[in-house]
Amino acid sequence: MIDIKLIRENKDLVKENIKKKFQDNKLPLVDEVFNLDLDYRNLKIKADDLRKNRNQISDEIGNLMRNGKKEEGLKLKDKVVEINEELKNIEINEQKLEKNIKEIMYKIPNIIDESVPIGKDDSENVELKKFGEPLVPDYEIPYHADIMSKLNGIDKDSSGRTSGNGFYYLMGDVARLHSAMISYARDFMINKGFTYVIPPFMIRSDVVNGVMSFEEMNAMMYKIDGEDLFLIGTSEHSLIGKFKDQIINESSLPLTLTSYSPCFRKEVGAHGIEERGVYRVHQFEKEEMVVLCKKEDSMEWYNKMWMYTVEYFRSLNIPVRQLECCSGDLADLKVKSCDIEAWSPRQKKYFEVGSCSTLGDAQARRLGIRAKGENGNYYLHTLNNTVVASPRGLIAFLENNYNIDGTVNIPEVLRPYMGGKDKIG
């Protein structure tokens, strides 16, 4: 959510930003909220004048009563009752206007960074840099589900019976490898100075509305029947919600957190759920990183964070690239975002394994997360990034470490989490 002052002072900038995101249907919202805000501020002025007038009349009543002019004082009391009734009606209208303004402001996208490339959708995202040589071996790399099956590491038939499509059983060394990647990611981030957190895996609707748009929520999140609770689609939501309505001492900034969680997603849309493999599923596990910092530090942290993901995957012998998200591919709360994509030697192309975003003060403004500085309180900037999400990260690992004999190499950094094994098969 942007600052309403921006609409008051520069409607054209807000409209131009909407056009850059190819959301012209939202252009009327800017004028609508501008006019509602004007009505709201006029009501506030009227209410302040009425309160001032009421105070003056109350003083006058006191003087009259003290001077024995009781009848005149009682007449003025009737005027106070009228003012109170008028104030009551104004306050009701203020609340209605405030609610309407908030609902519209939630729909107006955040101002994107000047460096964001302009494009309609993800087909116009821009490759910035590659890390590692994307090699294709001279032997065939099987489909990831077949690699797992040969290692007795997956059972989708049973999960189909217990849970339906979009779920899976991981077993044996494959399950252990999955957990090893998550555990290594946890320690990798702790060694970067981040505080490890295991957050709640369910959050209330006011937190959901604070961290994402309604459209994203509807497409992603599972709601618990009969309760004001949602299963998290990513631990970022729970971590940011931790600071809801808090005032943080500036001396403790930046707050750098890394969290483990299972994640649950509907995966509604054109992509659908993958029937045979585990690339797109309803349930997965993830190690996440989140930073809350001052405005002037947010872009520096953004660049640090996506590079941590690159460093993590390169330590597992996985070539990756950074793909910058264009304006039309940015969620409404995001200021700037990039995907980290891993190389698939089987498909001979890259695929997404993580996403890094800076959201400016949009989430903090929605959730009331502020810092206390020398010159007063201010909203913090929030950033999030995937360290690794598995099984998608597991797919990249298996393909890039697969040998011609069907075994899979275990890089040195993972061996402590795999009982010292240097390969499985």
Measure the CA–CA gap between 118 and 324, rounded to whole angstroms. 11
Measure the CA–CA gap between 131 and 310, rounded to whole angstroms. 7
Measure the CA–CA gap between 293 and 255, rounded to whole angstroms. 7
Whole-number average pLDDT of the chain: 94
Tokens of 183: 């555990």
Mean pLDDT in residue range 79-105? 91
- Integer CA distances (angstroms), 305 to 254, 288, 351, in order: 13, 10, 19
Contact 205, 214 (CB under 8 A): no
Per-residue confidence band for 261, with pLDDT thresholds at 50, 70 and 90: very high
Q: Is the pLDDT of residue 24 over 90?
A: yes
Contact 293, 301 (CB under 8 A): yes
326: alpha, beta or left? (left if phi > 0; alpha if psi -120 to 50): beta
Measure the CA–CA gap between 339 and 350, rounded to whole angstroms. 11
Q: Is the pLDDT of residue 140 over 60?
A: yes
Residue 235's CB is within 10 A of a number of other CB atoms, namely 27
pLDDT tens-digit series, residues 181-207: 999 999 999 999 999 999 999 999 999
> φ and ψ at 222, to 5 degrees?
-95, 130
Tokens of 402: 């697969």
Per-residue confidence band for 65, with pLDDT thresholds at 50, 70 and 90: confident
Set out the domains of the chain in order of their start, with CATH numbers. Answer: 4-105 (1.10.287.40), 122-424 (3.30.930.10)
Measure the CA–CA gap between 128 and 301, rounded to whole angstroms. 18
- The type of residue at 152 is N
Q: Is the pLDDT of residue 58 over 60?
A: yes
Mean pLDDT in residue range 84-88? 90
Pairing of strands 255-264, 195-197: parallel
Lowest mean pLDDT among 51-60, 120-129, 246-255, 266-275: 266-275
- Residue 54 has a pLDDT of 87
Mean pLDDT in residue range 363-370? 97
pLDDT tens-digit series, residues 12-23: 999 999 999 999
Mean pLDDT in residue range 68-75? 72
Per-residue confidence band for 272, with pLDDT thresholds at 50, 70 and 90: low
- Beta strands across the sheet bearing 255-264: 126-131, 320-324, 336-344, 349-358, 381-390, 283-293, 255-264, 195-197
In the block, tokens 């959901």 appear at 208
pLDDT tens-digit series, residues 142-165: 999 999 999 999 999 999 999 999
Measure the CA–CA gap between 315 and 401, rounded to whole angstroms. 12
The Cα angle at residue 347 between residues 344 and 348, in degrees rounded to 5: 70
Measure the CA–CA gap between 223 and 5, rounded to whole angstroms. 34
DSSP 330-357: S-TT-SEEEEEEEEETTTTEEEEEEEEE
Tokens of 282: 């309803």
- The type of residue at 399 is E
Q: Is the pLDDT of residue 100 over 70?
A: yes
Lowest mean pLDDT among 27-31, 64-68, 201-205: 64-68
- Residue 4 has a pLDDT of 94
Measure the CA–CA gap between 111 and 359, rounded to whole angstroms. 9
Tokens of 47: 């209410």
- Residue 267 has a pLDDT of 78
Measure the CA–CA gap between 107 and 84, rounded to whole angstroms. 35
Q: What is the pTM of this model?
A: 0.90
Contact 151, 425 (CB under 8 A): yes
Lowest mean pLDDT among 14-18, 264-268, 350-354, 380-384: 264-268
Contact 299, 291 (CB under 8 A): no
Q: Is the pLDDT of residue 268 over 70?
A: no
Mean pLDDT in residue range 392-416? 97
- Residue 243 has a pLDDT of 98
Query: Which burial class, exposed, middle or buried, applies to 202 when counting CB atoms under 10 A from its CB (0-12, 13-18, 19+)?
Result: middle
- Integer CA distances (angstroms), 278 to 143, 245, 387, 394, in order: 11, 38, 19, 10
Rounded (to 5) percent helix, strand, coil in the chain = 45, 20, 30
Q: Length of the chain, please? A: 425
Tokens of 97: 């206007």
Q: Is the pLDDT of residue 59 over 90?
A: no
